[in-house]
Structure 1
Amino acid sequence: MMVVDYIQTHQLECFSMALGLVYLWCEYRASILLWFVGIVMPLVDIVLYWQNGLYADSVMDGYYAVAAIWGFCVWQWGKKEGGNVSKEKAGHLEISHFPVASLLPVALAFVAIWAVVWLWLTYGTPSNVPISDSFVNALSIVGLWALSKKYIEQWFIWVVVDAIKVALYAYKGIPVKGSYYAISVVIAILGYLKWRRMMQKRAATPAIC
């Protein structure tokens, strides 16, 4: 009965949780459908996070909704890096490794975003968690970019982001969403292993012209 009462009084949070589970399943499967869920879920979370004082999360979710559209386009029409591909796979981005040449610029971009968001939260909002809120959002932006490029290492980024969000959301009184991120940590580990198997299978399959 307590569970039913909680769902009735926290409908927005529970709806977001349901969308999040669908998103994780699609990401785990490397399904392009994740981007469609990735458009709807942030729009729900904008309201949820603002109501609970997670201002950076709320504003950034507007960005995530727009970025999901871009991510879909990259996955659908992204250019492959060399090699022949079968006709049925043409036009779809393949899973690959994070390029070493991108590490430094991405790291610098992360620090810059973290600093800007932290300054905004500290001096422009009543947030009482500016450091952690800005950190996870800056890292999430990097993670979303890596996901859009289908880099397998994006899973490592989400392990860190999701682990921090478990504690952050519990502290901010959003336990259902916090439990979603606890599940996300597990899915991120399993997702990495699945994507690695997919890469290995693709590497072992002869290319078809």
Structure 2
Amino acid sequence: MQNWIDLFIEQVKATTWLEWTAVLLGVTEVLLAKANKVWLYPTGIAGTLISIYLLLNVALYAECLLSCYYVVMSFYGWYHWVKKRNEPPVKVSYANRQEWIVTLLIVFAGWGILYLLLINFTQSTVPVWDSWVSSTAWAGMWLLARRKIENWVLLNVSNLFAVPLLFHKNLALFALLTAFLFVVAIFGYLDWRKIIKEERLKEEQLLLNVEVA
């Protein structure tokens, strides 16, 4: 146990200012997501662009692809969340059957495709683990962009496997951030579930008032 603590301390001491910046932006982003605020997207984009550079340096290629995908999905989510003319903003909701099918396709097809890419075109030493972390996170971010509560579940599956992977690659601060994100995601799920319940109560009350009138 002491060896792990000593290793963590050494890695934190070696952390660059770019890593600190990426981590601080990541913390801000997830707190904004938990609060259901659209500003999570520009914050996340800034942090992710820094992460892409850092991940390339340690040969986590699937994670780097994940980050590129995240930038694209962030712009999509940003647009999807913003209120359009004469339309209400997208509400938090549960994924339907079709969305779950797409989610599972992203997870398992993405896992297989990323694994094949890593073993054939990169020098990755952790192709199975790296591709799994990325594919589950891809699915979670797709659900987040559509404002589906299950995004927290998929993102935490990714977080659970990402922590030891990042420690293995000597990115201690990123591993600590991911552990923090795991905890925040639990509360994010609970907060979003509360939002859904409140929305349902409002709709039921509105329907009741209409029937009484």
Instruction: Compute the TM-score of the two structures, normalised by the length of structure 1.
Output: 0.87
2:64 alignment partner AA: S
Over 3 Å counting, the alpha-carbon distance change for 1:44 and 1:6 in structure 2 is same
The 2-side partners of 1:98 and 1:12 are apart by 36
Map residues 100-119 of structure 1 onto 2, 5 A cutoff: 100-119=97-116
1:192 alignment partner AA: Y
2:124 alignment partner AA: S
The 2-side partners of 1:78 and 1:178 are apart by 37
2:175 alignment partner AA: G
Does the residue aligned with 2:30 lie in a helix, a strand or coil?
helix
Aligned-residue CA RMSD (Å): 2.4
Contact kept, 8 Å, 1:78 with 1:93, in 2: the verdict is no
Over 3 Å counting, the alpha-carbon distance change for 1:73 and 1:207 in structure 2 is farther
- CA deviations on 1:147-185 (whole Å, 9 max, x unpaired) are 011111111111111111111101110000000010111
Of residues 110, 120, 125, the one that matches 1:123 is: 120
Contact kept, 8 Å, 2:152 with 2:188, in 1: the verdict is yes
Contact kept, 8 Å, 1:169 with 1:175, in 2: the verdict is yes
Of residues 147, 162, 166, the one that matches 1:165 is: 162
Q: Does residue 1:150 correspond to 2:156, yes or no?
A: no
1:125 alignment partner AA: T
- CA deviations on 1:121-172 (whole Å, 9 max, x unpaired) are 1111111010011111111111111001111111111111111111110111
CA shift for structure 1 position 8: 7.2
Q: Does residue 1:187 correspond to 2:193, yes or no?
A: no
Instruction: Compute the TM-score of the two structures, normalised by the length of structure 2.
Output: 0.85
CA shift for structure 1 position 94: 0.4
**Segment of structure 1 superposing worse, 52-61 or 198-207:** 198-207
Does the residue aligned with 1:126 lie in a helix, a strand or coil?
coil
Instruction: Indicate the structure (1 or 2) with the bigger Cα radius of gyration.
Output: 2
Does the residue aligned with 1:119 lie in a helix, a strand or coil?
helix
Does the residue aligned with 2:123 lie in a helix, a strand or coil?
coil
- CA deviations on 1:35-75 (whole Å, 9 max, x unpaired) are 11121111000111111111111133122112211101111
The 1-side partners of 2:14 and 2:189 are apart by 35
What's 1:133 paired with?
Answer: 130
The 1-side partners of 2:72 and 2:19 are apart by 21
CA shift for structure 1 position 115: 1.1
For structure 1, list consecutive stretches of 5 or more residues without a partner in the other structure.
80-86
Q: Does residue 1:53 correspond to 2:50, yes or no?
A: no
The 1-side partners of 2:65 and 2:31 are apart by 25
Over 3 Å counting, the alpha-carbon distance change for 1:6 and 1:168 in structure 2 is closer
Contact kept, 8 Å, 2:140 with 2:154, in 1: the verdict is yes
Contact kept, 8 Å, 1:57 with 1:137, in 2: the verdict is yes
Does the residue aligned with 2:82 lie in a helix, a strand or coil?
helix
The 1-side partners of 2:54 and 2:129 are apart by 18
1:46 alignment partner AA: I
Over 3 Å counting, the alpha-carbon distance change for 1:154 and 1:44 in structure 2 is same
Over 3 Å counting, the alpha-carbon distance change for 1:43 and 1:102 in structure 2 is same
The 2-side partners of 1:160 and 1:191 are apart by 14
Q: Does residue 1:95 correspond to 2:92, yes or no?
A: yes
* Aligned sequence identity (%): 26
Over 3 Å counting, the alpha-carbon distance change for 1:179 and 1:78 in structure 2 is farther
The 1-side partners of 2:84 and 2:166 are apart by 35
